[in-house]
Amino acid sequence: MANLNRIKLVLVEKNKTGKWLADELGKTPSTVSKWCQNQPFTLQFITSVWEETSPEVADALVILTEEACSFRNDMVLREEDALKFKNPEDARPVFQMLLLMGEGYAARYRGANAFDFETVMDDFEKNIAILRKNFYKEEYLK
């Protein structure tokens, strides 16, 4: 649970406020407050951070990214999940494919005036269905 509240800790370490982060990211202070209260990140937040250029925010994001990668791997790539694959060794490369796909979506919409979250999620879910169909064991395709 401590990993989820890392934003608040980094703000304290950098002697910055939630209001400062909100101003830097173009978000409302209440949105940043929600992030600091362990509410989950969203694709919109990740997309907005993708374009961040402030060195102080970038430094904080490097720390958060490293810890998030470790946390993500612990949470997502559990042994019981790998066993759902026809070949359990495929779990890590498929997960890497999903990460690259997410980065691709973020890159596609970087600097865009509009971002249709529903359309992106529909497309992402179609791609996940294709991966499941090709990599999961039959009993997990229900």
Model confidence over 4-21: pLDDT tens digits? 466 777 778 778 888 888
Task: Give the pLDDT band of residue 137 (cuts 50, 70, 90).
Answer: very high
Summarize pLDDT for 55-104 with one digit per residue, the tens: 877 777 777 777 777 766 666 667 778 889 999 999 888 988 888 888 88
11 and 54 inside one domain: yes
Asked whether the predicted pLDDT for residue 134 surpasses 90, the reply is: yes
CATH number of the CATH domain containing 23: 1.10.260.40
Task: Give the pLDDT band of residue 53 (cuts 50, 70, 90).
Answer: low
Q: Which domain-ending residue is among 46, 76, 106?
A: 76
pLDDT at 34: 73
Most trustworthy range by pLDDT among 39-48, 60-69, 100-109: 100-109
What does the pLDDT average to over 105-128?
Answer: 83
Asked whether the predicted pLDDT for residue 54 surpasses 80, the reply is: no
Q: Which domain-ending residue is among 58, 76, 94?
A: 76
pLDDT at 113: 78
What does the pLDDT average to over 31-53?
Answer: 63
Its domain, for residue 116, covers 78-142
70 and 83 inside one domain: no
Which residue has tokens 């990211």?
25
Cα separation, 113 vs 54, whole angstroms: 21
Cα separation, 52 vs 3, whole angstroms: 22
Q: Tell me the β-bridge partners of 136.
A: 85
Q: What percent of the chain has pLDDT over 90?
A: 12
Burial annotation 78-88 (CB, 10 A radius, 16+ → b, else e): eeeebeebeee
Structural domain count of the chain? 2
* 112 compared with 45, residue with greater pLDDT: 112
